[in-house]
Amino acid sequence: MEEVKAVVKCGNCQTVLKERTDIAPADRNPCPNCGSMARAFEVSLHASITFKGKLTAKGKRAGAKKHFVIQVMGDDFFRKMKKWTKLSRVIDREHDSYREIFTDPDTGQTIHKCVEPLSQHTGHGSAKAKENKS
Ligand SMILES: [Zn+2]
């Protein structure tokens, strides 16, 4: 299984922390600088996207504060293979499901697949932050 490389930073003071991205929030240690338990994940993969397209679709129920499903489809640069891949990511809050699949556009083969309960998914950060506002 390939892992997407991510940098873990303190969500409060932005100090870079030597912490794995896949540990449970309960197992985190407070930031040595400010003591915060908040984390920000920086996925280096996304930094290289300059001209390829990506589409994000969000489903929201009337009156609901949060989106219950978020879907991302498009091109994503898979650094380990040094090539562009097709990304399909579905975050489904209603069913507590996180699904991420990278496929090789040339062969149609699955390169990376990550399917897990959303509540267990702490690796990329995109599932959480940001979504509280709108
Ligand atoms: Zn801090």
Q: CA-to-CA distance for 44 and 8, rounded, in angstroms?
A: 11
The domain limits of the chain are 6-120
Ligand 1: centre distance to CA 101 (Å): 32
Cβ atoms 99, 115 nearer than 8 A: yes
Ligand 1: centre distance to CA 91 (Å): 28
pLDDT digits (tens, 9 = 90+) for 76-124: 888 888 888 888 898 888 889 999 999 998 898 999 899 999 888 876 5
* pLDDT band at 22; cut points 50, 70, 90: confident
**Beta bridge pairs of residue 122:** none
Cβ atoms within 10 Å, residue 115: 11
Ligand 1: centre distance to CA 97 (Å): 30
pLDDT digits (tens, 9 = 90+) for 34-72: 999 888 877 654 444 444 566 666 676 667 667 677 788
pTM of the model: 0.45
Ligand 1: centre distance to CA 28 (Å): 12
